[in-house]
Amino acid sequence: MSKNKLLSSSLAYTIGNLLIQGLSFITLPIYTRVMTQEDYGNYNLYTSWVSIFTIFIGLQISGSFSIAKIKYEQDFVNYIRTSTSVATIFFVLFSIVSLIFHDFLENLLGFSIGILIFILLQGYFSHLQASLSQYYIQTQNTKKQLSLSFFMSFGNVVLSLIFLFTLKDDFLARILGGFIPSLVVAVVFLYFIYKNNRKLLEKSYIKFILVTSLPLVFHILGHSLLGQLDRIMIGDFMSSKEVAIYSFGYSLGSIVSIALMSMNTAWIPWFFAEKKKGNEELIKKYKERYLIIAVFLTIGFLSVFPELVTIMGSNDYKSSRDFVVLIVVSCFLTFLYTFPVNIQFFYENTKFIPIGTMFAAGINYVLNYILIPRQGIYGAAIATVASYLLLLVFHHIIAKVKYSYNEISILGYTKLTVVVCVYGVFTNYFIDNLLLRWSGCLIVFLILIFYYKKDIGELVKIIKKGEK
């Protein structure tokens, strides 16, 4: 990827992801108004457990596809077939154990055995969907990858709405809305994998699959716990209504993360390529511009989120405004965390990555345990910010010590975070005063534009060149 096309590619990733993910956000006002808070909260607890179960069911085997594509390029489909068989065998064993100990799991999850079966099946289907998605990514079939994402998102929305207006049980309606598209994709994927060769396992691949994938389990588990523990613990300490309010606010605040992580998707291949060439000055130059874009996007979202709360949710969800700023800050910290982590991926030393995420998840659990009983859902949001801040600090230290990382200094992180936090406090203080809040936004934008006018001018030129 050329440097002139980097930003335009980033823009394309961002727009594509926003359009696909936007389908879910467009229907959010319907869900929050049609479903009771209890059903909405229970569904979010359900999806939280699905994401955790998926990690163990699939062993993160799809995470090995990028390396396998290089190592077994001529036999890539056979590799995927074996990896799918391994995951399926493990799914069967995991399900048997889960059903034997269903009493314990029912108490832990807070759901009946019927919902537990749904969780197990959807966890397996989610793994197969991830495998198909990774296959398209590694074979650079962008159109099919986007089509798959669109089908899943669109199918979920359409079926959920149909079931919500035809079934009496709103909780079951939402489960079926996501379950059926996952089932369809799973069947299509299994047919594709086994239609020409029904041999289940190639012994030569099994060791590579397990050695490559198992370390990723702890990394992804840590991230999943960071993203889901708050909702699960709110459900334990409070009620599904509070889960609903928190999930709504979290989903709204995470909109900014879609844009920021899409930027990182475009950044990584360009960064790796330029890093190999030793173009440190060029990396530094472009890094500054990326950070400018990230700050602008974050501040822009902070300026309008109170209106989004009103539009996307009913009055029952108005209290979510109190903590959305904290969720946005945590998303921004997650974006900053990718810089030192990318360094570790570049040097192919990922052993500290699962350590960092599990450490942050442990801290998140402790803070949630302390803060939720005292501060409620606001305490969960504080725990989220603190955990991601510690995750950033941990990986910065690792990158600094092992690789003399200096692309962003501690002072640089602090400046960026302070700008976002101060503006977030300002937004929250004038949350009911639209005129002052938007006037403040305009002033801040003008100051930033003046301060970074040279970089912004070059950004415009680069985007135009990339389009050509």
Three-state secondary structure of 16-38: HHHHHHHHHHHCHHHHHHHCCHH
CA 198 to chain centre: 34
Distance CA 341, CA 354 (A): 11
| Euclidean distance between CA atoms 19 and 21, whole angstroms | 6
pLDDT, position 151: 86
Tokens of 134: 């990774």
Q: How far apart are CA 172 and CA 170, in angstroms?
A: 5
Q: 105: alpha, beta or left, given left = phi > 0 and alpha = psi -120 to 50?
A: alpha
Low-confidence stretches of the chain (pLDDT beneath 50): 1-6, 9, 463, 466-468
Total-model pTM:
0.78
pLDDT at res. 40: 86
pLDDT confidence of residue 17? 59
* pLDDT tens track for 369-384: 999 999 999 999 999 9
The predicted structure's pLDDT at residue 330: 93
DSSP symbols for 314-337:
-GGGGGGHHHHHHHHHHHHHHHHH
Enter the tokens of residue 63: 């995470």
- Reduce the DSSP state of residue 468 to 3 states and report it: coil
Q: Give pLDDT, residue 120.
A: 95
For 202, list phi and psi in degrees, rounded to 5: -110, 110
> Which of these, 392, 53, 384, 36, lies nearest to 234 by C-alpha position?
384
Q: Is there a contact between 240 and 37 (Cβ–Cβ < 8 Å)?
A: yes
Which long-range contacts does 170-173 make (Cβ < 8 Å, 24+ apart)? 170/34, 170/35, 170/36, 170/39, 170/40, 171/35, 171/39, 171/42, 171/43, 171/46
pLDDT at 100: 93
Nearest in space to 346 (alpha carbons), one of 413, 400, 281, 271:
271
- Gap between the Cα atoms of 435 and 455, Å rounded: 30
Q: Which residues make Cβ contacts (< 8 Å) with residue 284, sequence separation at least 6?
A: 407
Q: b/e string for 123-151 if b means 16 or more Cβ within 10 A?
A: bbbbbbbbbbbbbbbbeeeeeebeebbeb
Please say whether the beta carbons of 90 and 59 come within 8 A.
Answer: yes
Q: How far is CA 25 from CA 93, 152, 164, 309, 450, in A?
A: 36, 14, 17, 11, 34
Q: Please answer whether residues 136 and 194 qualify as being in contact, where contact means their C-beta atoms are separated by less than 8 angstroms.
A: no
How many of the other CB atoms lie within 10 Å of CB of 97? Answer: 11
Q: What is the pLDDT of residue 430?
A: 79
User: What are the CA-CA distances from residue 39 to residues 34, 46, 77, 231, 336 (Å)?
Assistant: 10, 10, 41, 14, 35
Helix, strand or coil, per DSSP, at residue 200: coil
119 CB burial (10 A radius; 0-12, 13-18, 19+): buried
Could you tell me which of 230, 274, 250, 238 has the C-alpha nearest to residue 380? 230
Angle of helix 37-58 relative to helix 113-138, nearest 10 degrees, comes to 60
- What's the pLDDT at 96? 94
Where does residue 462 fall: left (phi above 0), alpha (psi -120 to 50 degrees), or beta otherwise? alpha
Please name the helix (run of DSSP H) or strand (run of DSSP E) that holds residue 83, with its range, or none: helix 76-100
A 10 A CB-CB count for 67 gives 14
Q: Which pair of structure tokens corresponds to residue 347?
A: 């040097």
Q: Which of 175, 207, 211, 221 is nearest to 57 (CA)?
A: 221
